[in-house]
Amino acid sequence: MPSVQVSAAKKTPVARDLPTFVTWDKPYEDSTVLDVKKAIAAKNPKFYTARQKLTLKGDNKALSDETKLKDAGIADGADVSVKDLGPQVSWRTVFLVEYVGPLIIHPLFYHFPKLFFGGPVQHSVLQKYVYTAVLAHFVKRELETTFVHRFSHGTMPLFNIFKNSAHYHLLSGVLLAWSVYSPTFAANSPWIRGTIRENPTFLWSCLAVFVFAELSNLRTHLTLRNLRPEGTTKRAIPRGYGFNLVSCPNYFFESLAWASITVMTGSYAAVIFWLASTYQMALWAAKKHRNYKKEFGKEYPPNRKAMFPFIF
């Protein structure tokens, strides 16, 4: 029966019983980092596996759950360190909470303008289109989170649910709704009357770009889903629609969708949300692009950009 001595990288209430020896019923040759985590959790159920970051003694690099102990350089009876990552919440839960905010906030501003603007608002065609587009976008995201996405990491720190939700609830929720459903964009407003913002061709063109981007985004998500068998963290090189040009076409199409809303409205709130979202997605895309190239080496298509075709 293999064993290791586990010490806490930092003392916390759930790690107060460390250091200690843990054992498990599995041959050493087949044992993984996850087996050690499970053995720790068996002694202290509050210190569940998702809260643990296991490292070699004196090292800060996290060991992945699937890594075999012999491959990680952990001999039978060796010392390892474990860090308490704090309370965790599933990625799926975080995404569902993020996206539900705008689905509540936008109907409130749209259907109850007296509460926010002091009187009724005669909605323009532009406002109706934006309202429909925003709800469709976030309903799509909720459905994708529930039925399409497969996550390589099961959990994230609990604090992230508040940090991530603030981005959506405040920027694409309160700020965008406050701006676009206000009297400034109403049917009888000078910002709308006699301008391109009530021109059917302009509005339908913007909406067409939005629908194209949303459907393209969905297609890339389905491609990514099919790369990873259910219940695994397998990684492979994505190919096909969008991926022949960039590593993260899902981010590109999402940015394009919000760009169409920004152009349609000319709203400062739409500009702020579009720029903030695109900047964050560009950072994620650059990181994923580097990881793809590092993991797959010469096999990875050399001419792909990270997010924007031919540019970045």
d(C-alpha 101, C-alpha 214), whole Å: 19
Domains of the chain: 3-86 (3.10.20.90), 89-299 (no CATH)
Please give the model's pTM, rounded to 2 decimal places.
0.87
Per-residue DSSP letters for 41-58?
HHH-TTS-GGGEEEEETT
The strand ranges marked E within the chain are 3-8, 20-23, 52-56, 79-84, 88-90, 155-157
- pLDDT at 228 exceeding the cut of 80: no
Tokens matching residue 136 = 């469709």
Asked which of 19-23, 111-115, 128-132, 189-193 is least confident by mean pLDDT, the reply is 19-23
Tokens matching residue 309 = 């075709």
Confidence of residue 164 (pLDDT cuts 50, 70, 90): confident
- pLDDT at 232 exceeding the cut of 80: no
- pLDDT at 218 exceeding the cut of 90: yes
pLDDT at residue 140, rounded to an integer: 98
d(C-alpha 145, C-alpha 122), whole Å: 35
pLDDT at residue 11, rounded to an integer: 81
3-state secondary structure of 179: helix
CB 151 within 8 A of CB 145: no
Q: What is the pLDDT of residues 252-306, one digit of tens each?
A: 999 999 999 999 999 999 999 999 999 999 999 999 999 999 999 999 999 999 9
Residues 80-106 as b or e (16 or more Cβ within 10 Å = b)? bbbbbbeebbebeebbebbbbbbbebb
Among 155, 152, 158, residue whose Cα is nearest residue 50: 155
Q: Which residues contact 162 (CB under 8 A, 6 or more apart)?
A: none
